[in-house]
Amino acid sequence: MRKKIPPLNSLKSFEAAARHGSFKNAADELFVSVSAISHQIKQLEHVLNVELFVRKTRSVALTKIGKQYYPILRDAFDKIAEGTDLILTPTRSDVLTIQLYSTLAIRWLIPRLPDFQSKYPNISVRLHTSQFDVDFNKSDVDACVKIGHRAANGLHYSYLFTSDVFPVCSPNLLTAKEQLERPEQLNDFTILQVYPSHGDWYIWLDEAGCTSVDPESGLQFDSYDHSISTALQGMGVALGMQPYVDKELSSGLLIEPFPEMRVKHHSEWYFVYRQEKFEQKKIQLFETWLIEQIKADPELSISQEGTTSEQTF
């Protein structure tokens, strides 16, 4: 049995008026008269048997029910627009969309991308950066580079590398009176935390046997790039992760206060894509190139177990 749906024109008029907070602006958007908008909304109120707007002399305002109904219709119309755009925009086999963390993009991948483009000039790479992992059920990206575990069904995982994590800071942060010789002394400094990856500091502290330091006590950032940039200014101690800080360490802009205490991250890096895209040439070419770039980077650690770790769930 088909569910009851009010007249579409009435719904469009209400959504536009609610979004603009004005019957006049809604009328301008929909190329109709103000009276037509008013009529359509009255019709909708009659069908629903509720009042959606409070009419004032020079303005209108949503009622409590109107405020509840508006976001439902807004999301519905957004979905229709997205779906329409999807079917009207042909899928281009020469465009490859990759999602990855912004820090990895800025500090490692982008400097290497010209090599891929020179080898495969017919493939256009689009980078989508996010601090959070892709949801392949909702996103249309072709593949992603992520740190984590192989878990989701219907996805192909190719192992890339395993990161070391370790504290880093500017040499200017340390003075004759303020030194970092033991992990417990981190309490004397500002900890720079990346909150989407808040567990990373705990991994290092646990392995170091340090329970007295609270990594949430200092400054909070949404990316490793921001925390590292802040550390470069001498404002605190950040957690370094390969390959994010290789250049700064080699140049001396950052130092490791505990050079003998690097710790393997508990998660591994993967190149991930939908199982049904396994045969797509553009993905295969990028995957092969990416793994070659990683193997050529002496700073990245590839575990023997991981080198043969390709699995489809």
Annotated domain spans of the chain: 8-88, 95-160+266-312, 164-264
Give the DSSP letter of residue 136. Answer: T
Mean pLDDT, the chain cut into blocks of 10 residues (313 residues total): 82 93 92 93 93 88 93 89 70 81 93 95 91 81 91 88 94 80 91 92 94 92 94 95 91 93 94 89 95 91 55 57
pLDDT, residue 81, reads: 83
Report the alpha-carbon distance of residue 241 to residue 238 in Å, rounded. Answer: 10
CATH code of the region 8-88: 1.10.10.10
pTM for this prediction: 0.66
182-228 pLDDT per residue, tens = 999 999 899 999 999 989 999 999 999 999 999 999 999 999 999 99
pLDDT, residue 231, reads: 95
Q: Strand pairing of 143-148 and 124-129? A: unpaired
pLDDT, residue 289, reads: 96
CATH code of the region 95-160+266-312: 3.40.190.10
CATH topology of domain 164-264: D-Maltodextrin-Binding Protein; domain 2 (3.40.190)
Report the alpha-carbon distance of residue 205 to residue 227 in Å, rounded. Answer: 18
164-264: same fold as 95-160+266-312?
yes
Peptide bond into 243 cis (omega under 30): yes
Report the alpha-carbon distance of residue 260 to residue 276 in Å, rounded. Answer: 44
Residue 182 and residue 213 in contact, taking contact as beta carbons nearer than 8 Å: no
In this structure, what token pair is assigned to residue 29? 């958007």
